[in-house]
Amino acid sequence: MQEKKERINQSRNPLVGSNIRKLRKERNLKAVDVIAKLQLQGVPITTGTFSKVENGYNNPSVDLLIALTQIFKCDFNAFFER
């Protein structure tokens, strides 16, 4: 049985996804580079799922956001800034 992961709900406000995209672009990283780094950290994610997270169609897991703080070298709060 697969463990249920905590997720951040973006259905009404895709702020987190747009901040992920902004942080990625500020660091001159391509999505495929971020996905490869996530997979190396043990976060199972596909290109399609990552794209949906950035565009606000998928809700990112807390595990994904924690891994992204390490990749982007940012604070967790950076995903929630307006």
Residue 4 has a pLDDT of 64
Query: How many domains does the structure of the chain reveal?
Result: 1
Does 24 or 6 have the greater pLDDT score? 24
Residue 2 lies in a domain: no
Residue 62 lies in a domain: yes
Residue 43 lies in a domain: yes
Residue 6 lies in a domain: no
What SS3 class is residue 7? strand
pTM summary value = 0.89
- Taking 90 as the threshold, does the pLDDT of residue 36 lie above it? yes
- Taking 80 as the threshold, does the pLDDT of residue 68 lie above it? yes
In tens, the pLDDT along 42-67 reads 999 999 999 999 999 999 999 999 99
Output the six-digit token pair for 11: 């259905």
Residue 72 has a pLDDT of 98
- Taking 90 as the threshold, does the pLDDT of residue 8 lie above it? no
Q: Which domain holds residue 36?
A: 15-80
Residue 39 lies in a domain: yes
In tens, the pLDDT along 13-33 reads 789 999 999 999 999 999 999
Distance (Å, rounded) from C-alpha 67 to C-alpha 76? 10
Residue 26 lies in a domain: yes
CATH number at residue 41: 1.10.260.40
Could you give the angle at which helices 47-54 and 31-40 cross, rounded to 10 degrees?
A: 120
Residue 59 lies in a domain: yes
